[in-house]
Amino acid sequence: MIRHIVFFSVKDSAQLDEVEEGLKLLAQSPYPRLLEVKRNLRRDLFGNAVDLVVYGEFPDQAALDAYKQDPLYQRSIDRVRPLRELRIAADIEG
């Protein structure tokens, strides 16, 4: 299994809902076993720069690759990219 984790911050907090909705498009993709979009609870003592987290679980690399080729993925990018400031992604096995 591959876990795909992406952290986002928005340029303008007034657009947080709009970015969240754009990211939630990804949950319609058939490729992940699980895909969640959650707001950061901002409870860390050392840093809270992240506004939103996308967490996905994929059975294998082929499913993750198919997810990234899904037209929903591009629609989400088109909506979110102009509004986001930070994007950090990590893929881990386990």
pLDDT tens, N- to C-terminus, the chain (94 residues): 999 999 999 999 999 999 999 999 999 999 999 999 999 999 999 989 999 999 999 999 999 999 999 999 999 999 999 999 999 999 999 8
**Can you give the pTM of this predicted structure?**
0.94
DSSP label at 81?
T
d(Cα 78, Cα 18) in Å, to the nearest integer? Answer: 12
d(Cα 83, Cα 92) in Å, to the nearest integer? Answer: 27
pLDDT at 94: 85
